[in-house]
Amino acid sequence: MSDTLPAAVFKAYDIRGTVPDQLNDFFAHRLGLALAALARQEGVRSLVVGHDGRLSSPGLSTALQAGLHAGGIDTIDVGLVHTPLVYFAAHEDGSGSGVAITGSHNPPDYNGFKMMMAGRTLHGADIQALRQRMAGIQPPGGIPAGQARPKDLIDTYIERIAHHIRLARPMRIAIDCGNGVGAVAAGRLYRALGCTVDERYCTVDGTFPNHHPDPADPRNLQDLIHHLRDSDCEIGLAFDGDADRLGVVTKSGQIIWPDRQMVLFARDILQRVPGASIIFDVKCSRHLGQAIREAGGVPLMSQTGHSLIKARLADTGAPLAGEMSGHLFFKERWYGFDDGLYAGARLLEILSRSADPGHVLEALPQGISTPELKLPMAEGQPHAFVARLQAEGRFPGATARITIDGIRAEYPDGFGLARASNTTPVVVLRFEGDTPAALARIQAEFRAALQALQPGLALPF
């Protein structure tokens, strides 16, 4: 078995790579030892560990926990659960510490580790520091080994949500888990809220045989759209592979992207928390910031990344944050972690007040926009390419350039964005315009800027 620690798997806000060449039992055991050392340093005595439905996840969980135990740390093994339940369990435990073993929305041969310690999500320098710990770590001597304690918290999680979220009327909904691990709780949760639930692909299967579990890609929502058209369901909810992200479609087949969802959530929350800051990432619509201001809030644009957003949420005390990818973070009435199932429940609470949920959603402001477009590159190339674009790119019609994460060029009638993904080797692009002509003009400026750096580049727009 390989004894290397490939640098490429240590991402900006989690650890993620292919199995078994990059991530394997050796890697997981050594990570457990490193996390145990960090836990002892921070006075943490136990970590919650849960895993998704990928074929490699149970083995990685066993190896990780063995490393934690060898390092003197107990584990609370919550088993096969969606990532947000690991976060929930860490809050319930009081340690604020845990590891979710998940490849999220990546292909089946990927897996990874999302980590929190003493109430903070590990990201950036924390993850690089873990890599350094792992490089030379050995089991400590003279301390008792940790023990595993299995714990089933799914019922507690569902009861907690159902206790404080009340629908104004029963609803009939369709859900699509994409064979991801959200299926262990999604149907049960929404039925507990009083919904009639049509389930699509709600059997956990780590090969994802029906469609890829990524609601940010419109192709993965087509099954749900067709089911809504052919049934009496009012609304459709979709989740990614570890169910920390939410996708929404209406009865008429319109996809309600997360930045539009956030308009609805912000308006609702700002009625109870007037003047609050609302955080969103660089991929979100210009209409979201405007809607937050109109509702009396303060819009704060942030870098993309679930760990980065959570850190910003903790720093600002904002009641709500979200990303265009579908990560939504509710601090008001909840714990502040990203949870697609919980976000779906909050959405239904609002929509149940209307006899026509589709009309409410489709009336939300929007420009003419693209989904996230992905420009594949070799591993390691996207960040270097985007750094060059920041330094050399020319956008003559732009009124502002935002460089907190890639480059976002703002125009009087739209925006364009190029940023390097921190999970896969792609450059993510997104465009919005007030009119088709504005969208085409902005895309043309970006096309020229991108191809000036690399002539002949095959662009996805």
Q: With contact defined as beta carbons under 8 Å apart, do 194 and 167 qualify?
A: yes
Please state the pTM of the whole predicted model: 0.94
- pLDDT tens digits along 363-374: 999 999 998 899
Identify whether 104 is a catalytic site residue.
yes
289: left (phi over 0), alpha (psi -120 to 50) or beta: alpha
| pLDDT reading at 138 higher than 50 | yes
Where do the domains of the chain lie, and which CATH numbers do they carry?
7-152 (3.40.120.10), 170-250 (3.40.120.10), 258-339+349-362 (3.40.120.10), 368-453 (3.30.310.50)
pLDDT-derived band at 2 (thresholds 50, 70, 90) equals: very low
| Per-residue model confidence (pLDDT) at position 40 | 97
What is the Cβ-side half-sphere exposure of residue 130, based on CA atoms within 13 angstroms? 33
- What sign has the CA pseudo-torsion 310, 312, 317, 318? negative
Give me the helix-helix angle, 25-41 and 57-70, nearest 10°: 40
Catalytic residue, from 97, 104, 325, 369: name it: 104
Question: How high is the pLDDT of residue 288?
Answer: 97
The per-residue pLDDT for range 393-425, each reduced to its tens digit, is 999 999 999 999 999 999 999 999 999 998 778
Burial readout 142-159 (b: 16 or more C-beta within 10 A, e: otherwise): eeeebebeebebbeebbe
Q: Residue 1 has what pLDDT? A: 36
Quote the mean pLDDT of the chain: 96
> Coil, strand or helix: which one is 360?
helix
